[in-house]
A and B are shown apart, each in its own frame.
Chain A
Amino acid sequence: ELKVEQNPLFLSMQEGKNYTIYCNYSTTSDRLYWYRQDPGKSLESLFVLLSNGAVKQEGRLMASLDTKARLSTLHITAAVHDLSATYFCAVAPYNNNDMRFGAGTRLTVKP
C-alpha cells in the first residue's frame, strides 16, 4: 500500500527565512502534487510534478521531484506571513489514479 510521509508536521518560521518541507513516498509513482489549505477551506493546487528532476517555482515556493529517491521537496524562500497555511503533498501510484496524501505540514510564519 502506498505510504506518503511528510516532515516536519509543524513548522514555525520567522519572516525572511528559508526552509524546506520533505515528502517521501513508498511506491513507484509518476505524479506528485503539492497543495495548500487554509483553515476551513478546500485544497488549492500549487504544483504538479510529472517527471524525475522536475522543478517548478511560483513566487517564494519551489518544488522538486526525485523519483529514484521517491522524494519531493517544497522549498520556501524568504517566508512572509501570507504563506501561513497547511501544505500537503500527495502521490498517485504508477498507472493508478488513487491519490494519497501526506499528513500535512502546518506552517506558521511569524513577523
Chain B
Amino acid sequence: DAMVIQNPRYQVTQFGKPVTLSCSQTLNHNVMYWYQQKSSQAPKLLFHYYDKDFNNEADTPDNFQSRRPNTSFCFLDIRSPGLGDAAMYLCATSDSRGWGYTFGSGTRLTVV
C-alpha cells in the first residue's frame, strides 16, 4: 500500500544534542509537510516542500531545519533541542491540488 512512513516512532534525545527525524513516502506526492503537535494542542505547520522549493512558516524557530534530497524522503533536523521541543512530529504529503493529505504515524520526541 502507498503510504507515509516516519522513523523512528519514538526518539529520546539529550538537551542540546542534534536530532534528525525522517519521513519517506511511496505516494509520489510532490508536497511534503512537517507539523509539530504538543500535548493537547492542534498540529502546527512548521514548513513544507513543494517539490524542491522550501517554504518556512514565519514563526518556525531557526532551530528547526529540513532537507528533501529527493521526492521520496524528507528530514527534520533539530539543531539544539530544548525541553520545549518535546512533541509529536507529524509528516504529511499531498499532491499539488491538496485534495487529500496523508499523514505518517508520527515520531514522539522526548528531550531529557
Contact = CB atoms under 8 A, between A and B. Distances in A.
Contacts of A99: 33, 45, 92, 94, 98, 101
A86 B1 CA distance: 26
Interface residues of B, number: 26
B48 interface: yes
Contact of B100 (A41, A48, A104): A48
Interface string B30-49: 01010000000111110010
Interface residues of A, number: 19
A43 B42 contact: no
B42 to A, nearest CB: 4
A42 B98 contact: no
A98 B58 CA distance: 13
Interface in B73-112: 88, 90, 92, 94, 96, 98-106, 108
Contact of B42 (A33, A40, A48, A101): A101
Contact of B31 (A45, A88, A97, A102): A97
A75 interface: no
A28 B55 CA distance: 21
Interface of B: 31, 33, 41-45, 48, 50, 55, 57, 88, 90, 92, 94, 96, 98-106, 108
Interface of A: 31, 33, 40-43, 45, 48, 50, 88, 92, 97-104
